[in-house]
Amino acid sequence: MENAMSIRMRSFMLVLGLLGLSSPLWAEPPTTWEARYGIHETPTDPQSPLTFTIKLSLERASLSGNSIGWRVASVQIRQLDASGNAVDLWVETNPVVQTTDGLWWIDHADAENLYASEFVLPPHIAGTADAQDPNHAALSYDIQGVPCEPPPAPEPPPYQITAAMNWRFMRVGEQNPISEGEDKPIEAEPPNGV
């Protein structure tokens, strides 16, 4: 037989559920996230075409307060033509993240309510991604977020969420990179979900 306290607690939970409310006591931080970045032809010009997009598919591996250790489940790099159409797509699953424990730790303002602006400094990740077209070469890549230096006043940052990155993309078997940049601004969470 249930005691009065247990009945009241169940009744309270039922009322919360019927009202569509949840209590922060039972809220759970997200278990997955996609961090997306866009590299423009002219990195400081948001009107220039996107030439590459990077998508990091993340899985929560560890949680400590508002700090989440994210495992990078996959890296997806897409090359775009001037019209924004995909020319090539490369994917690597379970890439090596060059941190002490292999996780990307982020101190979130609120682990239950994540913001794209909290994902602007990806750790150093380098590897070889397989071409999704079997007729194309694999891609050797090296990416790392770096602190973004704001433009001198009164110029605003070029993007709604501006990040900065070092990157180098080279097709396996070729001598020259198809794209590279050092401390260049990139667009975090580019529009259209690319």
- Residue 26: CB partners within 8 Å, gap ≥ 6? none
Contact, 109 vs 82, CB < 8 A?
Answer: no
State pLDDT tens for residues 57-96. 999 999 999 999 999 999 999 999 989 999 999 999 999 9
In the chain the first and final C-alpha atoms are separated, in Å, by 56
Residue 19 clears pLDDT 50, i.e. is over it = no
Mean pLDDT of 146-166: 90
Long-range Cβ contacts of 60-65 (<8 Å, 24+ apart): 60/29, 60/30, 60/31, 60/32, 60/33, 61/103, 62/103, 63/29, 63/111, 65/111
Q: Which of these ranges, 6-20, 63-77, 132-146, has the smallest mean pLDDT?
A: 6-20
Q: What is the pLDDT of residue 28?
A: 84
Q: From CA 178, how far away is CA 171, in angstroms rounded?
A: 7
- Residue identified by tokens 């990195």 is 43
Domain ranges of the chain: 28-193
- Would you give the DSSP letter of residue 117? G
Q: What pLDDT, on a 0 to 100 scale, did the predictor assign at position 155? A: 86
Q: pLDDT-derived band of residue 194, with 50, 70 and 90 as boundaries? A: low
